[in-house]
């Protein structure tokens, strides 16, 4: 273990001289069967989770410690002011899901995004105090620990507190990100104070200290969920909401509950897929697409050939139309989950799928709401084979941009994931269907898709991704790479990706990763092809089928990510 730590430190020192090599070295790690593995968006957070495993904690404990550390080291998405989802698979093959998605305040209503003239007001919907949903992360972590953790709660907060109070050195990537972020929100003094030096950008190598955030984490350490939803932290949050004209009040914090739910389960070529149920749309959409694709020999088509990509795009198109029509918070809306994930429904969707030409997305009143790509996913497996997949978010990068004065954490802008206006459709791709309109205490629809793969009772992989609506399709392609193309986890994560989401009717390909012949063939089939930037960060863990070793694959699209074993 000492040698491994020394090697990782050496790799980080070499990062300035050999950035590509350092990225590859940091992105993968393999540990024996008797060890655990954590893979996240920041190596310090991965180390926090790894240390919990080494001290005898289980995968749930490590996931909590990792998530809390990311609230310090990955402020654009890691959070205690947002929410998300957790999938847990136990060594005996049973599984459960923890839903800690944000909820709408009690004062929310479907027409709250209209101005005095009855026109849609996008700024208020996405970037205002009214865009803040009731945070769920702390309640979700507390619930998961109460139900399934074994370590002492205070020890899970300790790494994050240390990182917040003592600080950590900024990478070039994070320093650049913070500089751009602070420049966008000069009207929030607490935000500027926390993430700059008297308004001047921090540079690579500077130490970022967040003492107010450390204080909030200490209150959570002492009081568990009550350290956040009651007492000084809650009062500070509500005071900021009142000052900025937000809807969230003390009663909303006191009433918030994380929920344990039954995962979505599907099967594909003998593999078991375990995904998140609504208000995540990910589990349903992934299973729907796999059910459609099971009717074709994808391996014979060849990986990322025009024919293969065409069939993926057509499956994606149909699953996203279902998403827009049906999916929402099942506590409020009746969603036909069994029908949507059935083989019969997939067969119906295949009926008009032409293997030689693209379908046309006819919008009607079905379009998709804006959903930010700024989310983070991490994966954990412990030495007993318990697996945890967590995806959580603030919605946009750095959420609302609002740091709670005196509390040091960023607030989400998740209310932007509710449909904008009843019946409203425009060039931004807004949706006006009823299921996902804002209602008091309703959870907004999400694309977050933490997913676990198993076969014959054995754990195969843990995966997920950030990326807004691209999350669903990133997860789909990682699974297909593993199952149909027999890739190892590193190759499955690194492979080029594509995306289609029904509307807008465009097929997006990661730029410079597909040759001109592939693009031309897809265009000849009728696809409107668009070059896109990187798609997702699928920080995943695979289980070597021969040795049982845990293989961590941090997505090479992020140089700050880390895979850590104990």
140 & 235 share domain: yes
274 & 235 share domain: no
Query: What does the pLDDT read at residue 21?
Result: 25
Query: Is residue 386 domain-resident?
Result: no
255 & 277 share domain: no
Query: What does the pLDDT read at residue 113?
Result: 85
- Number of neighbouring beta carbons within 10 Å of residue 119: 11
Q: How many independent structural domains does the chain possess?
A: 2
Query: Is residue 442 domain-resident?
Result: no
- Number of neighbouring beta carbons within 10 Å of residue 260: 15
- Residue 491 sits in a domain whose CATH number is 3.60.20.40
Query: Is residue 388 domain-resident?
Result: no
407 & 481 share domain: no
167 & 311 share domain: no
- Number of neighbouring beta carbons within 10 Å of residue 562: 26
In this structure, are residues 291 and 482 in contact, taking their beta carbons and an 8 Å threshold? Answer: no
234 & 311 share domain: no
**Which residue segment(s) compose the domain that 168 sits in?**
39-260+396-417
Query: Is residue 95 domain-resident?
Result: yes
Query: What does the pLDDT read at residue 546?
Result: 85
251 & 305 share domain: no
294 & 172 share domain: no
462 & 558 share domain: yes
In this structure, are residues 58 and 149 in contact, taking their beta carbons and an 8 Å threshold? Answer: yes
Query: Is residue 428 domain-resident?
Result: no
366 & 485 share domain: yes
Give me the average pLDDT of each 10-residue run along the chain (566 residues).
30 25 47 87 97 97 98 97 98 98 95 87 90 98 98 98 98 96 94 95 97 98 98 98 97 98 98 98 98 98 98 97 91 95 98 95 61 86 97 95 98 90 54 76 95 97 95 98 97 98 93 97 98 97 91 94 86
Query: Is residue 353 domain-resident?
Result: yes
Query: What does the pLDDT read at residue 24?
Result: 29
**What is d(CA 481, CA 24) in angstroms, rounded to the nearest whole number?**
19
**What is d(CA 318, CA 316) in angstroms, rounded to the nearest whole number?**
5
SS3 124: helix
Q: Select from 11, 135, 166 the least CA-distant residue to 67.
A: 135
Query: Is residue 167 domain-resident?
Result: yes
- 3-state helix, strand, coil split of the chain in percent (to 5) is 40, 15, 45
101 & 185 share domain: yes
286 & 185 share domain: no
Positions marked active-site:
375
Query: Is residue 423 domain-resident?
Result: no
Retrieve residue 268's tokens. 């594909």
């Amino acid at each position: 273990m000492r040698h491994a730590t020394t090697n990782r430190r050496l790799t980080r020192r070499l990062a300035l001289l050999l950035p590509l090599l350092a990225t590859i070295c940091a992105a993968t790690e393999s540990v024996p069967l008797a060890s655990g593995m954590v893979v996240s968006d920041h190596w310090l957070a991965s180390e926090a989770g790894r240390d919990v495993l080494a001290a005898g904690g289980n995968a749930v404990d490590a996931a909590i410690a990792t998530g809390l550390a990311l609230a310090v080291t990955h402020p654009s998405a890691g959070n205690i002011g947002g929410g998300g989802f957790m999938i847990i698979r136990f060594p005996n093959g049973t599984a459960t899901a923890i839903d800690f998605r944000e909820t709408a305040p009690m004062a929310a209503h479907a027409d709250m995004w209209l101005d005095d003239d009855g026109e849609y007001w996008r700024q208020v919907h996405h970037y205002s105090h009214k865009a803040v949903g009731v945070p769920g992360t702390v309640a979700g972590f507390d619930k998961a620990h109460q139900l399934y953790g074994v370590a002492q709660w205070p020890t899970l907060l300790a790494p994050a507190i240390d990182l917040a109070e003592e600080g950590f050195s900024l990478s070039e990537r994070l320093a650049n990100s913070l500089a751009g972020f602070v420049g966008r929100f000069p009207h929030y003094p607490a935000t500027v104070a926390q993430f700059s030096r008297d308004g001047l950008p921090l540079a690579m190598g500077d130490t970022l200290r967040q003492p107010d955030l450390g204080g909030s984490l200490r209150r959570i350490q002492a009081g568990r969920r009550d350290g956040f939803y009651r007492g000084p932290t809650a009062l500070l949050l509500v005071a900021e909401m009142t000052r900025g004209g937000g809807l969230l009040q003390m009663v909303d914090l006191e009433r918030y509950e994380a929920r344990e739910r039954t995962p979505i389960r599907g099967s594909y070529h003998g593999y078991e897929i375990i995904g998140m149920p609504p208000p995540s749309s990910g589990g349903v959409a992934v299973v729907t697409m796999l059910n459609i694709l099971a009717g074709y020999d994808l391996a014979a088509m060849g990986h990322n050939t025009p024919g293969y990509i065409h069939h993926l795009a057509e499956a994606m198109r149909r699953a996203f139309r279902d998403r827009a029509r049906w999916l929402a918070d099942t506590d409020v809306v009746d969603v036909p989950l069994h029908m949507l994930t059935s083989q019969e429904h997939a067969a119906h969707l295949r009926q008009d799928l032409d293997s030689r030409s693209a379908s046309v997305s006819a919008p009607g009143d079905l379009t998709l709401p804006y959903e930010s790509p700024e989310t983070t996913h991490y994966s954990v497996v412990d030495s007993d084979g318990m697996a945890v997949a967590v995806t959580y978010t603030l919605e946009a990068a750095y959420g609302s941009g609002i740091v709670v004065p005196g509390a040091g954490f960023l607030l989400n802008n998740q209310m932007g994931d509710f449909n904008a206006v009843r019946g409203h459709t425009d060039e931004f791709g807004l949706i006006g269907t009823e299921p996902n309109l804002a209602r008091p205490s309703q959870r907004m629809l999400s694309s977050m898709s933490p997913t676990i793969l198993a076969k014959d009772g054995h754990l195969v992989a843990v995966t997920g991704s950030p990326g807004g609506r691209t999350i669903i399709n990133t997860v789909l392609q990682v699974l297909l790479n593993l199952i149909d193309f027999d890739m190892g986890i590193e190759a499955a994560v690194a492979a080029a990706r594509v995306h289609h989401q029904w509307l807008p009717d465009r097929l997006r390909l990661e730029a410079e990763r597909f040759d001109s012949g592939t693009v031309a063939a897809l265009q000849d089939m009728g696809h409107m092809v668009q070059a896109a930037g990187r798609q997702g960060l699928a920080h995943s863990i695979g289980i070597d089928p021969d040795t049982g070793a845990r293989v961590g694959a941090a997505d090479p699209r992020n140089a700050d990510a880390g895979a850590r074993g104990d």
